[in-house]
Amino acid sequence: MRIDIEELKNKIKPKLRPIIWRDEDNTLILLDQRKLPFEEVYVELRDPVSTADAIRQMIVRGAPAIGITAAYGMVLAIAHGNTSTLDEALKELARAREVLNAARPTAQNLFWATERMYNRARNAVNNGEARNVKELVEILRREAKAIFDEEFNAELMMGVYGLEKISDGDTILTQCNAGGLATGTGIGTATAPVRVAHALGIRVSVIAPETRPWLQGARLTVYELMADGIPVTLITDTAVGYVMYKGMVNSVMVGADRILRDGHVYNKIGTFKEAVIAHELGIPFYAIAPSSTFDLKSRVEDVRIEERDPDEVRKIRGVPIAPEGVPVFNPVFDVTPPKYVTALITEKGIIYPPFDKNIPKVLGIA
Ligand SMILES: CSC[C@H]1O[C@H](OP(=O)(O)O)[C@H](O)[C@@H]1O
């Protein structure tokens, strides 16, 4: 099928705008995802500390969205006249990078974005491109916007490549929210092939597990797919095995927070369970992520799985569901070994095993 990307862009018009940069006063505006789907509340940020807090509190979440937010957090570090020299600005940016990197430990995009922004600033100062702080702010603002635009185009391409794995009438099982809210651009990663298929008139539907404890599936994936008229069915996390066993699922498509050189996929807790069941039942399992999510240096033992507040498990939306003080283990990601991964879908193409050989080749990274 020949696809005109510009025509596709006009067809896929996401309604939600989770991340907005206001140029007039250098303000970052975030849709507070903790309040969806019942309230659309925006928060305004003007410094890297509050930006890091917004990431930590999951006002914004999802690997690419965290990366874009952190990029703008770096702009905020020098955008409000708190530094007068370029040397001071670089010091402030180094501090902002540390503050932002400490917000959450697992999503690779966070570290990728702050490193890219800091390197851009240092190069601009060293090569004379930035003659003063004002010019450096403008250079960084353009860099953050470039990251946003690159992620948007990457998601379109992941949708186009992923289309190859969708047939008319398919049902796709996903996990958590790897949609437009998780990427900040409104398209998404795991849902990109679904959005492209839908835009091209191919019949496709989604089964979305609720995704305890933060309920990204029930509150976010369902919300954004319904807003765009894409058929979606909500299930409990405990039903994923049954829907696959009943033959209700043609493929599994999930996002990722980090993918290693050997194909280990870090994603929302519960993903590994889906991958093993899919593998056992012969259902294709795809992880869909931009190259900014890949970490070709770390090994499995190096990657920290985030553990969050036990009350996220003891309560649902603040209502207790377990005895007070019950001990809780709350890892919010898990890792899926490459043997359970059918293929990785990226903006540069589909990557098949052996991943340690094919990831660097397809991504063009040594
Ligand atoms: C498109 S990446 C989305 C990825 O991030 C989510 O985690 P969280 O909501 O905790 O940031 C989940 O792992 C998604 O697959």
Pocket of ligand 1 (CB under 6 A): 61-64, 176, 178, 182-183, 189, 216, 254-255, 257, 267-268, 332
Mean confidence (pLDDT) of the chain: 96
Dihedral sign, Cα of residue 155, residue 158, residue 164, residue 170: negative
Banded model confidence at residue 235, pLDDT cuts 50, 70, 90: very high
Please tell me the CATH code under which domain 5-156 is placed. 1.20.120.420
Say if residue 366's pLDDT is above 80.
Answer: no
Q: How far is the CA of 121 from the centre of ligand 1 (A)?
A: 28
Q: How far is the CA of 64 from the centre of ligand 1 (A)?
A: 9
Banded model confidence at residue 308, pLDDT cuts 50, 70, 90: very high
Residue 11's pLDDT is: 85
Boundaries of every domain in the chain: 5-156, 166-363
For residue 113, what is the enclosing H or E element?
Answer: helix 108-126
Say what the ipTM of the complex is.
Answer: 0.98
Expressed in percent and rounded to 5, the helix, strand and coil fractions of the chain are 45, 20, 35
Q: For the purposes of burial, counting CB atoms within 10 Å of the CB of 29, is it exposed (0-12), middle (13-18) or buried (19 or more)?
A: middle
What gap in Å lies between CA 94 and CA 141, rounded to an integer? 16
Residue 14's pLDDT is: 77
The two tokens of residue 110 are: 């966070």
Please tell me the CATH code under which domain 166-363 is placed. 3.40.50.10470
Residue 56's pLDDT is: 98
Residues in contact with 310: Cβ distance below 8 Å, sequence separation at least 6, in sequence order: 327, 328, 330
Least reliable range by pLDDT among 4-18, 95-109, 129-143: 4-18
Give the tens place of pLDDT for each residue, 323-364: 999 999 999 999 999 999 999 999 999 999 999 999 999 999
Which atom of ligand 1 is nearest to 109's Cα?
2
Q: Whose CA is nearest to atom 1 of ligand 1?
A: 178
Q: Which among 170, 228, 237, 257 is annotated as catalytic?
A: 257
The two tokens of residue 255 are: 């996002």
